[in-house]
Structure 1
């Protein structure tokens, strides 16, 4: 490996460690809700607001930071985002009430989307064009590793010692990420094209909104089922609750495998075709999950695949947004993570509706299948519009060429017509 290639690998790895920290804090709260509820004097239902507070921070912070910091050097911005993330997590040591924990979780969520969005743009710029999706997948792969290693270990530490401890450890990892980015990421000055106005222009593009809509409805389908994975596995598959962490680990392993495969899918079939194909498979998987979940081993296999397929789509969708946003790449890439958190809320809400209606734990996956089908429809519409746009552009290029040929352009058809057949 050449020194330049090694430095690029270390730079992307540094960003992936930041993704690991973010993935751990995003999911560990769900495993520690009873402990956090006891520690802050609220019931578990109210403690669920702590999850929502973090998600709200992601939704709010991603677009605001991407636009406001459009002209900031990207290396310094990424270091600043991780430094803020670290402080917000260490500060949770001072949080011992509902209001203070809500504030701490909201602040911790603010850098999430901007870090992944801007980090994805930076990672793509460090490698050749055909390796962009693989580079983006490497950063997002930190989320998968977090679900396999970070979340189970952090949950165990929180249960045995203090619920504050996992968040403090995440803050330490974030601080180490700041150091690693400073050491390995090359200087990333603004190209001169970035500005708040340029970033906002991305929102005028129909394809940007279609890509974001794919994320909302397509991933809403996955979250409709996964939000209720624990009762689904215990009620339908008959799994003892103490083995649920192993099921979640299977999901995390699927995420890692999906991130690895994503770059290959992009190179083999293309970004948009890959999105359509993976969403179609997700729809099929969710449609049969309620039936398959009655067989334990089959349910576990399908949970693994459910981790794999969406993780193929996320880097593809991130790359798609960067492609169609043009000068607004940072904003569009950051909005992708706002979109995924919106999908989380949408899917969980719709799933809770069918459960409240008494339709059983197989119903949320059917809702998810319907949402995934809608995602396929939106992606197909995006492909059709893009094809029409390319044809129109090709026509505009050819027309001036013919007109510029003058009399020769008129004479050529006549001469061809006058040529006798052999």
Structure 2
């Protein structure tokens, strides 16, 4: 495996740990800052909002820089603001720092995906991108459970310090392992904005936001689901996060394989259908510890298998402005993160149980299927029109 891809995967590990560890330490944060669990869920949404805002903004700022330089700047940003999160002493300071920590997320993955494509062998683009995203999923196997354990038994502040250290490792690995690529001097943000006139792109964005929101409805409140419904001890959440991470890792590579073998759109439709099924099933078996453990692996796998095909569809829809398109794809997924966490919190504040977020997730994934079908028929219509015009 090329060292350049490993460097990108380390950066993805850092991002994955800081994004997803919040779900594991949510009860601990709430207790430490003396706020409710739904209020602590706002930290998840704040990070996601940072991703949404930062993706286009930082892409504009860095799109004409050499990719290696841009990635170093982004990794430094991740390191600094996650380290500062460790010293937050109240709700508002941590909320702001989580927003700032999320700003470089989308642009890092956007530039990283384009670089991974350049490093890939012929016909293996999706699998190369999956290697980069493997860092994010491995974070859910190692980093998130470790951070959850430390956050629960020692101090959640140390968790953010660890993220800062891994951010420093990302900078070093990019400097020494990532090849140099020329900057795109001809890139123009005004010209790139033309991609937003494409119906395809908006439909892919909607799939990423609403479809993946189904996963985040479940994952945002996974810790209280385990402890309050499945009746696991709080300490067992660490090990269950490992199970979720293993599922995500498996799903990530599965998604890359499906995308290179079949149509990314057809893979996405099938996976969204699968997400609806497993989220619905979970609501009926959540009180059984063995079954809920199996479902945790399966849901993680199905959800993360969607990442690679959606990323490929976004790059295809943004042809000519791949970096911008690729960066707004993670931003869209994090909009789904914010949307899922927010909507899933509503039934909780109304007094419903911790399986209610799973029904919210089911509904969002179902809407994602409808949008994906709309994209399928839109493309069919375009193909028919093109054939008719040629005839």
Q: Which residue of 2 aligns with 1:354?
A: 347
Residue 294 (structure 1) aligned to one of 284, 287, 302: 287
Per-residue deviation at 1:92? 4.2
Are positions 1:317 and 2:310 aligned together? yes
Per-residue deviation at 1:171? 1.6
Q: Is the 8 A contact 1:61 1:111 kept in 2?
A: yes
Residue 114 (structure 1) aligned to one of 97, 107, 114: 107
Are positions 1:379 and 2:384 aligned together? no
Distance in 2 (alpha carbons) for counterparts of 1:146 and 1:335: 22
Q: Which residue of 2 aligns with 1:43?
A: 35
Once structures 1 and 2 are overlaid, which stretch shifts more, 373-382 or 226-235? 226-235
Q: Is the 8 A contact 1:262 1:313 kept in 2?
A: yes
Distance in 2 (alpha carbons) for counterparts of 1:96 and 1:360: 30
Q: Which residue of 2 aligns with 1:307?
A: 300
Cα pair distance change 1:313/1:76, threshold 3 Å: same
Cα pair distance change 1:42/1:177, threshold 3 Å: same
Residue 175 (structure 1) aligned to one of 161, 168, 171: 168
Residue 251 (structure 2) aligned to one of 258, 278, 298: 258
Distance in 2 (alpha carbons) for counterparts of 1:380 and 1:291: 28
Counterpart of 1:178 in 2: which secondary structure?
helix
* Structure 1 unmatched runs, 5+: 1-5, 400-422
Per-residue deviation at 1:282? 0.8
Cα pair distance change 1:236/1:163, threshold 3 Å: closer
Per-residue deviation at 1:382? 0.7
Cα pair distance change 1:92/1:348, threshold 3 Å: closer
Distance in 2 (alpha carbons) for counterparts of 1:339 and 1:317: 10
Per-residue deviation at 1:62? 1.0
Distance in 2 (alpha carbons) for counterparts of 1:36 and 1:233: 17
Distance in 1 (alpha carbons) for counterparts of 2:151 and 2:357: 30
**Alpha-carbon deviations, 1:90-119, whole Å to 9, x = none?**
344654454443333222211111101111
Q: Is the 8 A contact 2:147 2:156 kept in 1?
A: no
Counterpart of 2:320 in 1: which secondary structure?
helix
Structure 1 residues 67-146: aligned runs within 5 Å: 67-92=60-85, 95-146=88-139
Aligned length: 390
Per-residue deviation at 1:154? 2.3
Are positions 1:12 and 2:12 aligned together? no
Cα pair distance change 1:262/1:48, threshold 3 Å: closer
Distance in 2 (alpha carbons) for counterparts of 1:160 and 1:357: 30
Cα pair distance change 1:37/1:152, threshold 3 Å: same
Q: Is the 8 A contact 2:24 2:223 kept in 1?
A: no
Counterpart of 2:124 in 1: which secondary structure?
helix
Are positions 1:200 and 2:193 aligned together? yes
Q: TM-score, normalised to structure 1's length?
A: 0.85
Residue 47 (structure 2) aligned to one of 54, 62, 67: 54
Q: Which residue of 1 aligns with 2:387?
A: 394
Cα pair distance change 1:87/1:349, threshold 3 Å: closer
Distance in 2 (alpha carbons) for counterparts of 1:344 and 1:99: 20
Cα pair distance change 1:323/1:129, threshold 3 Å: farther
Q: Is the 8 A contact 1:75 1:186 kept in 2?
A: yes
Per-residue deviation at 1:16? 0.4
Per-residue deviation at 1:24? 1.0
Cα pair distance change 1:29/1:366, threshold 3 Å: closer
Distance in 1 (alpha carbons) for counterparts of 2:248 and 2:41: 24
* Structure 2 unmatched runs, 5+: none
Distance in 2 (alpha carbons) for counterparts of 1:170 and 1:353: 30
Distance in 2 (alpha carbons) for counterparts of 1:296 and 1:394: 55
Residue 224 (structure 1) aligned to one of 217, 223, 226: 217
Q: Greater relative contact order (Cα 8 A, min sep 6): structure 1 or 2?
A: 2
Per-residue deviation at 1:273? 0.7
Per-residue deviation at 1:42? 4.3
Per-residue deviation at 1:47? 4.6
Per-residue deviation at 1:261? 1.1
Once structures 1 and 2 are overlaid, which stretch shifts more, 20-29 or 210-219? 20-29
Q: Which protein is bigger by CA-based radius of gyration?
A: 1
Are positions 1:188 and 2:181 aligned together? yes
Distance in 2 (alpha carbons) for counterparts of 1:353 and 1:90: 31
